Amino acid sequence: MLRRRGDRQALRVLVATRQGAVTARTCALNQLKALIVGAPEELRTELRARSTTGQVAYCAALGDRPARSLEHRTTVHALRSTAQRVPVLAAEAADLEGEIQRLVRAVAPWLLELPWPELAPSQPPRGRSAATD
């Protein structure tokens, strides 16, 4: 059972750290979207038709554009820097998820057998209403 303080604290630490990585990834994606909205028109056009995943990959690989304006160059730098954080944070969250599963499997494997209800399509996630979708 997961009753020993050390085990519970270890799990708390891993869960909190994973949540931090997930939150930081979400913040990086939101920042990237905001940078795209405020980017020079040429950059917005390059990114407009791409999915979020495509935008992240494209921005992470953006090269320097020395012939462009200062605004354009600094926006490219900010886009690249922000986009490069996203996969790093996703990998960190995935690594921590694996650690959480290993710990639970070692100290309370019965937890992995518990059913977890899935949200039905008519049930929006907590904090959101169907009207905001």
CA nearest 11: which of 92, 103, 114, 97?
A: 103
* The model's pTM: 0.78
33-89 pLDDT, tens digit per residue, is 999 999 999 999 999 999 999 999 999 999 999 999 999 999 999 999 999 999 999
Decide if 70 is inside a domain: yes
In a domain, 23, yes or no: yes
Task: Work out how many domains the chain is built from and give that number.
Answer: 1
Predicted pLDDT at 114: 81
Residue 117, domain member (yes or no):
no
Containing structural domain, residue 64: 5-107
pLDDT, tens digit, for every residue of 6-22? 888 999 999 999 999 99
Has residue 44 been placed in a domain?
A: yes
Which residues have C-beta within 8 Å of that of residue 86, sequence separation ≥ 6? 25, 28, 29, 32, 56, 60
- Residue 108: pLDDT band (50, 70, 90) is confident
